[in-house]
Structure 1
Amino acid sequence: MVRFLARRLVSSLLMVVIVASAALLLATASPGDYVATAGGIGANQQRMARERVRLNLDRPPAVLYLSWLAGAVRLDFGTSLLYQRPVGALVAQRAANSTLLAAAALIIAALLGLPLGVFTGSRPTGLAPSIVRGASVLCLSVPPLIASILLLALAAMTGIFPTGGMTSLASPADGWSWWLRDLAWHVPVPAMAVGLPLAATLERVQSQALADALAEPCMTAALARGVSRRRLLWRHAWPLSAKPVTAVLGLIAGALLSGSFAVELVTAWPGLGRLTYDALGARDIYLAAACASAAAAFLAVGILGSDLLLAIVDPRVTIAPPARGPTAP
């Protein structure tokens, strides 16, 4: 287990470094820079040149990258050109907001997708299972961007939930209790926009896995021996179907982040999606590289968590390196 975790952590760290390096090199190699974007058309060229020297943007891309990498090793990701704040603290704050949104969306996806998957998987025919399957296909077909727009329109018409942001602008003297209630009031719309397609994915995977488990010959034999269908479903078939559901959780973690980016832009949620958009629009190379590394870290954590859950759910899954076959004499 320790060797497995060490290998996974090293590969995850390598993936984060590669993604961040690629983001920085691509941002520096593309035409234009932060100074040109901020100066706009008709800006004084001499003043722009002096600004590039001040911000160290006049150096070759290779020198700029090596300087950034030396600081990143010390967890110093530079200063944001756009916000004039340390990049690490800025990304950490926005990553916490994105994590909150992703956690809420994952809770919605699990509470809806898994029970509905058990319902449709245990009932291959019928009107209600067909309606659930149709709703899942519809949720999978609607992109998170369109879903967030529709949910915002519904919130505006009903007035049940706010139409954007993470908290209200007002700051009553109630303190943390008011802030938590206000946060809980703002979370449902973006969380549902991200979580409904994931709930549909979980429903489809759980339904098919449960149907395959119930079709096993051992399940038929258990029914013939007098085991009740309810006991067979929950004590035998459902645990057997947990393996493929657990295996897809790593992909869901990546979908959480990619889906939340578009939702954050539409709903004005101050997370990594909005920060990445601002960094790319302003050509803030340091901030863009840090956002890319944070996205890669999200995906790495999701894949690692999926592997660990899979090893727990199915003890037959080995986490040791595959044994080598006998060598020819």
Structure 2
Amino acid sequence: MFKYIVKRFLHFIPLILGMTFVSFLIIKLAPGDFLTSLRMNPSISEETIKALEKSYGLNEPLIKQYFLWLWNALHFNLGYSFSYHRPVLSLIGERVGNTLSLTVTAFIVSWLVAVPLGIVAAYYRNRFVDRIITSFSLIGLSIPSFFLAFILMFLAAKTGWFPIGGVVSQNYESLSVLGKIVDRLKHMFIPLTAMVVGGISGLVRLIRGTVIEELEKEYVKLAVAKGLPVRVILFKHVLRNALNPFITLIGFDIAGLLSGAALIEIITAWPGMGRLMFDAVMAQDFFVVMGALYIGGIMLIIGNLMADILLALNDPRIREKEIEGRL
């Protein structure tokens, strides 16, 4: 198992190198940079611009700039933000908590709701319960998450039931422990709902289809003939055999924890990584953009590696095939 994990991890090293190199080239080949705006300021001399270029290594050849950035990134020195005038790592550290609190909550809620709904819809397929659940999922899929966020923000502005923007209220520090929790949940309601509705809708249809496929197999008919309880058949046999595509999807969800909420964060003014990335791109803050992409790439590796490990643990045939075929 250890060799299998090491082998899978090594496969991701070229991926992170390729992703960062292509992103570096795209950013560098784009017209202008942060220093362009400084050059237009008559109060800033050309000597100052050149000194800044030299201090950040921006006067070096493109390939050398990339490897300098990569060497520093491997040591988690992600550079200095031009816009915020502070180290990129500390800036990301502040925002990543807000993004993870939103995406992890949406991830947990989506799966906790979608799995039982999908199983119930599959078991009662083509009946009233299945039609209700399927109709809900179709409605959820037909409404884009960003449009739902706009609707919720409009309703919140009209009713005043939920705050718009930010993570906490101004009087947050004076609230009790329970009051702080409620305050955070109120601020999270709009972006969380916009993410969860679409997430549940897609998952329900996937789980329903996979479970229906498993229910039609011979081992289920044999279990029913033996008189096993429905609960045992569904959760001990059917669900485990249907887990493989779900585990793969969980890996992608984990990989997207930092980037999956970017559009929702921008729309709802949630101060997370998505909002930071958007502001950095607009300001051409090179080191912030590359730092965010680098952290996102690490999350991609972790998510896919966790999915591979979970798949191997759930289905030993996958692990044995990988070990025999690749090692």
TM-score range, shorter chain: 0.7 to 0.9
- Hey, what's the Cα distance between the residues in 1 that align with 2:65 and 2:28? 9
Partner of 1:47: 45
- Hey, what's the Cα distance between the residues in 2 that align with 1:124 and 1:3? 43
Superposition deviation, residue 257 in structure 1: 4.3
- Hey, what's the Cα distance between the residues in 1 that align with 2:154 and 2:161? 11
Q: In 2 relative to 1, CA 231–181 (structure 1 residues): closer, same or farther, beyond 3 Å?
A: same
Q: In 2 relative to 1, CA 52–24 (structure 1 residues): closer, same or farther, beyond 3 Å?
A: farther
Q: In 2 relative to 1, CA 297–144 (structure 1 residues): closer, same or farther, beyond 3 Å?
A: farther
Quick one: which amino acid aligns to residue 8 of structure 2?
A: R
- Hey, what's the Cα distance between the residues in 2 that align with 1:296 and 1:106? 19
Superposition deviation, residue 232 in structure 1: 2.5
Per-residue CA deviation, residues 163-193 of structure 1 (Å, 9 max, x unaligned), is: 2221112344347665443222222221221
- Hey, what's the Cα distance between the residues in 2 that align with 1:319 and 1:147? 45
- Hey, what's the Cα distance between the residues in 2 that align with 1:24 and 1:198? 31
Partner of 1:168: 169
Of 15-24 and 295-304, deviating more is: 15-24
Q: Is the 8 A contact 2:96 2:258 kept in 1?
A: no
TM-score (norm 2): 0.88
Would you say how many aligned residue pairs link Structure 1 and Structure 2?
A: 323
Superposition deviation, residue 258 in structure 1: 4.1
Superposition deviation, residue 77 in structure 1: 1.4
- Hey, what's the Cα distance between the residues in 1 that align with 2:304 and 2:11? 11
Per-residue CA deviation, residues 87-108 of structure 1 (Å, 9 max, x unaligned), is: 1121222222211111111012
Superposition deviation, residue 131 in structure 1: 2.4
Q: In 2 relative to 1, CA 319–32 (structure 1 residues): closer, same or farther, beyond 3 Å?
A: farther
What percentage of aligned pairs have identical amino acids?
27
Unaligned residue ranges in structure 1 (runs of 5+): none
TM-score (norm 1): 0.87
Q: In 2 relative to 1, CA 76–317 (structure 1 residues): closer, same or farther, beyond 3 Å?
A: same
Unaligned residue ranges in structure 2 (runs of 5+): none
- Hey, what's the Cα distance between the residues in 2 that align with 1:282 and 1:298? 25
**Is the counterpart of residue 302 in structure 1 residue 303 in structure 2?**
yes
SS of equivalent residue, structure 2 residue 161:
coil
CA RMSD of aligned residues (A): 2.6
Quick one: which amino acid aligns to residue 29 of structure 1?
A: L
Partner of 1:217: 218
Partner of 2:8: 8
Quick one: which amino acid aligns to residue 6 of structure 2?
A: A
Of 144-153 and 312-321, deviating more is: 312-321
Q: In 2 relative to 1, CA 38–166 (structure 1 residues): closer, same or farther, beyond 3 Å?
A: farther
Per-residue CA deviation, residues 208-233 of structure 1 (Å, 9 max, x unaligned), is: 12111111112122223333434422
- Hey, what's the Cα distance between the residues in 2 that align with 1:5 and 1:46? 53
Partner of 2:317: 316
Counterparts of 1:77-156 in structure 2, within 5 Å, are 77-156=78-157
Q: In 2 relative to 1, CA 231–71 (structure 1 residues): closer, same or farther, beyond 3 Å?
A: closer
Q: In 2 relative to 1, CA 293–167 (structure 1 residues): closer, same or farther, beyond 3 Å?
A: same
Q: Is the 8 A contact 1:102 1:256 kept in 2?
A: yes
Q: Is the 8 A contact 1:21 1:289 kept in 2?
A: no
Q: Is the 8 A contact 1:8 1:304 kept in 2?
A: yes
Counterparts of 1:202-281 in structure 2, within 5 Å, are 202-254=203-255, 256-281=257-282
Q: Is the 8 A contact 1:268 1:274 kept in 2?
A: yes
SS of equivalent residue, structure 2 residue 262:
helix
Quick one: which amino acid aligns to residue 50 of structure 1?
A: T
- Hey, what's the Cα distance between the residues in 1 that align with 2:139 and 2:37? 41
Per-residue CA deviation, residues 32-67 of structure 1 (Å, 9 max, x unaligned), is: 11022466xx54397366325324334432332233
Q: In 2 relative to 1, CA 148–6 (structure 1 residues): closer, same or farther, beyond 3 Å?
A: same
Q: In 2 relative to 1, CA 89–257 (structure 1 residues): closer, same or farther, beyond 3 Å?
A: closer
- Hey, what's the Cα distance between the residues in 1 that align with 2:232 and 2:320? 31
Of 227-236 and 146-155, deviating more is: 227-236
